[in-house]
Structure 1
Amino acid sequence: MQDRDYVRLDKKRFVPEDKGRVVTAFLINFFQRYVEYDFTASLEEELDDITSAKIDWKEVLRRFWKEFSAAVDDTRELRIGEVLDALNDFLAPSLFPPKEDGSNPRACPNCGNGELSLRLGKFGAFLGCSNYPECKFTRQLGGTEKEQKAQMEGDREMGVDPATGETIWLKVGPYGPYLQLGQGGNGEKPKRVSLPKGLEPNDVDLDLAIRLIALPREVGKHPETGSPITAGIRRYGPFVEHEKKYANLPDWREVLDIGLNRAVTVIAEAKTRGGRPQPKALKSLGEHPEEGGEIQVLDGRYGPYVKHGKVNATIPKDVDPQSISVEEAVRLIAERAAKSGKKKPAAKKKAAPKKKKAAAKSKAGDE
């Protein structure tokens, strides 16, 4: 819920965000039965009955899906406008709180005669003016006081980018503040760069805007591969990239000034941290005497172990991994396979008893 910005954690308590309120409002208005306490309590009782073998779990699922799919079909028939009207009314106290001067809380601060209401975009819900496209005012859900103030002020012209000669604009859209280079044209969209997390719109000047709009930038060539290293800001924060391998940076400011030596170091450290180091091969014990396939002795993250196929078995501390025998390795692998449920194929299991029977018959004949 935190990753989706539905709630924030404040003093060990979850506080709902506007996005979370929108989702909750939708469920209450159109799937009320499934968010009621009685439904949850009833379902828990049915789950207990399933555990006790009093009812068939397939019947419970069949009944649930029949009713739930009907509710989905009914909601699918609704027009988007009907859904948004219901959400606007339900969320009015939180989205449009009363103003001190008694004026209309839904009045558009840009054009003055339009009304704000929930709209749906590619990345979720936001507030927009009813006079769109004449009035293009939008406001993201939630955000800091500075961000809300910046949205009220509308677009801001930062100045001219010396590299392209185009104007840089600071805008605040439904998904947050961003920089835009020019207005685009010939069917092409203008270049846009979102402001990094923690940077307020009012703290951006022309020099910083020029440097941000130029991202991603090339830091230099990697001394070992000769491939370029780039630095930029993406959805998950600031990064350096080399041959499609990414390494995160702790602060967005470092993207603007990071040098080649520092970038190479960060990438090397990321490779060490990114995945588990490959276990060191100590020796090979040869083929498994019963099942075939190589048995290896490896030194892993948590100590030495023997490996056969997909089964890894830890070598006891009192056993020297360099001198472990094939018989001991086979025993450890079999014990580990039994614990993990990785049993031998049925055909191979039956092979051993047949051999014993044949041996018994042969012995009886000799006698």
Structure 2
Amino acid sequence: MKLVVVESPAKAKTINKYLGKDYKVLASYGHIRDLPSKNGSVDPDNDFEMVWEADSKSSKRISEIAAALKEADTLILATDPDREGEAISWHLVEALRKRRALKKDTPVERVVFNAITKNAVTTAMEHPRQIDGELVDAYLARRALDYLVGFNLSPVLWRKLPGSRSAGRVQSVALRIVCDRENEIELFRPQEYWNVAANLRAPDGTDFEARLYSLDGETLKKFTLGNKGDADKALAIVQGGGYSVTSVEAKPVKRNPPPPFITSTLQQEASRKLGFNAKRTMQAAQKLYEEGRITYMRTDGVNMAEEAYVAARSMIQSNYGARYLPE
């Protein structure tokens, strides 16, 4: 029997159905260890040694996995395909070794998939790899920096901004960016400019807007009409004459569909169309991912699952006809 560890119980149930009786799938429920919020959890003077602890709930999860591992001949780590998922797998191996629940001769495999479909999961199982040490190092550096910055900066933030939660490398840099932007806004000097436009109607009844493009042989730039007086003079000249279309230029317009969502565009559209904040958006996306309905949503890439391409092309051909199916 092979023991597979994923992050969420909903995902575990789905994957267990795909893999069958020769596999047992358990959930770690996210991270199983964390840095305790006390001084000394990261020691810069001792090669940045880090102290990790598991709370009571996480300890229970580790015990369940350790118990199941006694009956397994292989441990397969199938946590999410990002840096945090890699870190969870690393933490789990470290915690099991610390408990001596993981034997030296027990194979440990790392698999990743971007979509929870039967094809994606089974293909991933056929191509295991080792835990990516560079991703783990990146995670450890992030956590150490978060801790060292936040542990010293958070008390200052609490004193100056009562009600604020904490500070870390992201919050600190974000605060700096906000302050720099606010300084730019305060230093900004507004400059006045005017446009002259006319609402016109074509012989076929089509309404369109025409803007004053040149005046007295001079092409108008953004700040040419710098005050209301200049704008009124230009308007008087325009109103004194008639209008005629001297030429019509037709240009073909090509429109491309928007690319698949990445994390940021998903959050932006959910906020614009549904009024969701980022947390609610990612909670909804996580459920869709666990049900196998979307690919992994924490990404800057626009790759789609092969099944999605095939299904989309099939729907286009059946609903609209072959002439609308792209090559």
Structure 1 and Structure 2 fold alike (TM over 0.5): no
More strand by share: 1
Report TM bin, short chain: under 0.3
Point out the structure with max Rg over C-alpha. Answer: 1
More helix by share: 2
- 1 or 2 for the larger relative contact order (CA 8 Å, sep ≥6)? 2
> TM-score when scaled to structure 2?
0.23
> TM-score when scaled to structure 1?
0.22
